[in-house]
Amino acid sequence: MRCSIILLCLALCLIAFWLMRTAFQPQETKKPSSTPQVVAKPSTSVSTPTPPKVEKAPAARKPLKIASKGKVRLKPGESAVLGYWEIAPGMNGMAIVTPETTPEGHVKVTAKLLHLSDAAVSDAEAHDLFPDLFDFENYSAIGPERLRDLQSRLENIRGLDQLVTPTLYTPAGQRAAISIGNSNDSMLFLGLQADPIAEDGGYDLSLDLQRQE
């Protein structure tokens, strides 16, 4: 019993000594962890002015060249009509060619070259003499009555530009040509050759159209 009391006293003394030591020991103050601070410097940005847009010059249009060849069989008194699309928007070209045999046995060829606006084609009721949408030219044969009616209508409408109306004399089966324009402008060339048909006195009329800018 006595030994137990002594051990208890020793234990209490140890506890009291530990508490006193802990009470008088200075507490360590934790230093806050230092994190590097980044000082933001004011940014000085230099704005480069946007250069003005430079419009590209339109590419030079390539010279246009159109060539077409056709043949029309004509009965005596008939005329050949070549209707074709012009380069200028809304304008159409027409060539009316009438061959006839002279007493000397030569071929007299009367040709009329015209430019017609779309409205003029409608007023002249000549849509059937011009090509369809996906074609370039239309070769037709018309009789003298239709020719007189067409010429009468063309005389009284606007939007018509008559280029030339020449008359050519050539031996049968020989080629003749009509040229309009000059080297500094657009050129229109129409080649003609009338081959007589012995059976009925008509012609196989060959037409060679070339247009160049």
pLDDT in tens, the chain (213 residues): 556 667 777 777 777 766 776 665 555 544 445 544 544 455 445 555 565 565 565 555 455 577 889 999 999 999 999 998 876 788 899 999 999 999 888 999 999 999 999 999 999 999 999 998 788 889 999 999 999 999 999 888 888 888 888 899 989 889 988 888 765 667 888 999 999 998 888 999 999 988 877
What confidence score (pLDDT) does residue 112 get? 92
Q: Where are the beta strands (DSSP E) in 33-143?
A: 65-74, 79-85, 91-101, 106-117, 137-142
pTM of the complete model beyond 0.75: no
Q: Where are the beta strands (DSSP E) in 36-90?
A: 65-74, 79-85
Query: What are φ and ψ of residue 155, in 5° steps?
Result: -70, -20
As a dihedral over the C-alpha atoms of residue 114, residue 120, residue 121, residue 124, rounded to 10 degrees, the angle is -100
What confidence score (pLDDT) does residue 83 get? 92
Strand order across the beta sheet in which 187-196 lies: 65-74, 203-212, 187-196, 175-180
What confidence score (pLDDT) does residue 193 get? 93
What confidence score (pLDDT) does residue 80 get? 96
Domain boundaries defined on the chain: 78-212
What confidence score (pLDDT) does residue 3 get? 62
Interior/surface letters 50-68, b for 16+ CB within 10 angstroms, e for the rest: eeeeeeeeeeeeeeeebee
DSSP assignment letter at 128: G
Which residues fall within 8 angstroms of residue 101, CB to CB, at 6 or more apart?
107, 108, 172, 196, 201
Hey, is 81 helix, strand or coil? strand
What confidence score (pLDDT) does residue 38 get? 46
